Amino acid sequence: MPRTAPPTAAPPAGQAEQGRTGRERRHDIDLLRVLCTAAVVLVHASAEFLDAGHRTTGVLGDSASRFAVPAFYAMAGWAILAGSPVRGDTQLLTRLGRILRPMAVWTALYLLWQYLFGPPLDGGAKEAVRALFGSVEAAFHLWYLYAYVPLLLLLGVAVLVLGQRATPRWSALLLGALAVAPVLSEDVRTLTGLPLPPWGWSVPLYALGYAVAGAALLAARRRGPRPLWLAGVAVAFVALAVYQFTVRLPAGYGSAAVAALTFAVLGAVAGVRVPERARAVLVRLSDASFGTYLVHLLFVMVLVRPVAERVPHGFAAPVALAVTAVAAAALSFAVSVLWGRLGMRRWLG
């Protein structure tokens, strides 16, 4: 599995609740969600080209899409702090369940795929146990959810406590359990000698920063002329590409270069008016974004990887990346929309 460019993407936290609570649907957020989901596919497609030796193509593709993970954290922050704040313990746990249920299903499906078609699993059945503690090789792109779920839990409990909406008994208990779990698992490993995997359910500080600062920017919808934000996107992209060529590849999500690109994209998209004729399609794609994130790695492995390994160096490589990434994204959105129509989104995302 490619490790050069870690994955992104995100579940639709709060998007369904907007309609239920009578809030105006933010079509600019829908647009941002679809854009970031497509960027997730480009991140992993670029990683395949990097692993195949197409360095320039891979770095440029990765730099153009590295904003997606931080932007998803920002959307999560906006949803739970401003767009659709939780009103009670049960609602918060229900939101988490809508993420954890498809996450478990797809972890099992990727483990099965690896067993049937991939190289031998490292540890065999132990991989399934490792998935309870953190992301596994077969479904490595799901690492994001091991940070995303605790982030939603932390922000949700904070909303309930500060807003005095309800007493978050069970969610606070779960948050406390996640807080002590890393040290507890190490202690159990020391006392028993059991080979417990490292604990992965944790929130990095940069994720919390993107969630809160991004929520503030998205809640404001727009600050300053949009052409300036678009110019900022172009400048930040060039800066990030130079950074990745010369300093660190892949760039950390907490790096200044990634942050600059992320907030420039957020500022450019926030407040965009989507034409009415495009809204129905956009909403359908937005609702399918979580499922697209979960399934897209299969299409990257089947479509992008063989092309990346065979395409010659030179001009053909960036063209091949663009074509295969678009194809993988289109197929991923298509199958996610399909199982949504079949009523399977509860289990498949």
Average pLDDT over residues 147-170: 91
**pTM assigned to the model:** 0.91
62-87 mean pLDDT = 96
18-27, 66-75, 281-290, 303-312, range with the lowest pLDDT: 18-27
Q: So what's the pLDDT on residue 120?
A: 64
In the chain, the N- to C-terminal Cα span, in Å, equals: 23
Higher-confidence residue: 126 or 182? 182
pLDDT of residue 8: 42
Segments making up each domain of the chain, as ranges:
15-348
Average confidence (pLDDT) over 264-280: 95
